[in-house]
Amino acid sequence: MAAEAKSVLFDQFALVGKALSSGRRTELVDVLAQGERSVEALAEQIGQSVANTSQHLQVLARSGLVASQRDGNRVVYRLAGEQVEVLWEMLRAVAADNIAGVRPAADRYLGDRGEIEQVSRDDLVRRLGEGVVVWDVRPRAEFEAGHVPGAVSVPPEEVQRRLAEVPEGVEVVAYCRGRFCVFADEAVRALAARERRAMRLEDGFPEWRRAGLPVAVGAG
C-alpha cells in the first residue's frame, strides 16, 4: 500500500516535468516571467497559432505553473508564483551545465559573445548614478509591466531607428529577458557598429526584480 501511494505521489511530481517537456511551453514560461500576457500576445511571441498556444497554456495550468483570469473578452495568463521563475532559471542552468547540445545551440542563436562586454547587476546599480543610458530591449508590454528605473524602452524592432538618439561619449547598458535572450546582444552590436560604447546586463529583468532591486512600472 505504501509503495502504491509513493508511486502516486511521485507521478504527481512528474506532472511538472511533463508540462515543461515542450520547448514551446518553456518559451511561454520565459515570456510570462516578464509579466502577464493575453493568449493572443503569447501566440505572437512564440510564433504559434492562438489555438496551439491555448492548448500549451492549459497543460501549464493543469500542472499549476500558470494561472489565468478574464479581462473583458481576453484571457490573461501569468506565472503562478516566483517559484516557477526560480524553477525555470534552474532548469536552464542545469541544462546548460549538463546537456552537450545546449552550448552550440546557444552559440548559433546568440552569436559570438566574445566581443560583448557584460556587466553585473551590482555594476549596473552603480552606473545608474553615473549617467549611463539604460535600454530595455524587450517588447513594450514587458517594459510597461516592469523595468529598471530610468530605463528607456527600445523594443527590438525599433533598435536601428533609435541608434541616432545616443550621443557620442555616452555609455549604454542594454538588457532584455535573461541570459539566453538575444535582443540585448543585437542592440549592443548595433550600437558598437556606430562607435558607441555599449554593454549588456549579464542576465535580465526577471533576475533584477527577484534580487529585490528597484522596479518601475508603466510607460515611463
Q: Which residues are catalytic?
A: 176
Q: Which amino acid is at 183?
A: F
Going by C-alpha positions, the residue among 183, 128, 125 that lies closest to residue 153 is: 183
Q: Please tell me the distance from the alpha carbon of residue 210 to that of residue 187, in angstroms, as a whole number.
A: 24
Q: Please tell me the distance from the alpha carbon of residue 115 to that of residue 105, in angstroms, as a whole number.
A: 18
Q: Please tell me the distance from the alpha carbon of residue 126 to that of residue 119, in angstroms, as a whole number.
A: 11
Q: Which amino acid is at 166?
A: V
Measure CA of the first residue to CA of the last residue in the chain; give whole Å.
59
Identify the H or E element spanning 143.
helix 140-145
Q: Please tell me the distance from the alpha carbon of residue 189 to that of residue 202, in angstroms, as a whole number.
A: 15
Q: Please tell me the distance from the alpha carbon of residue 206 to that of residue 128, in angstroms, as a whole number.
A: 18
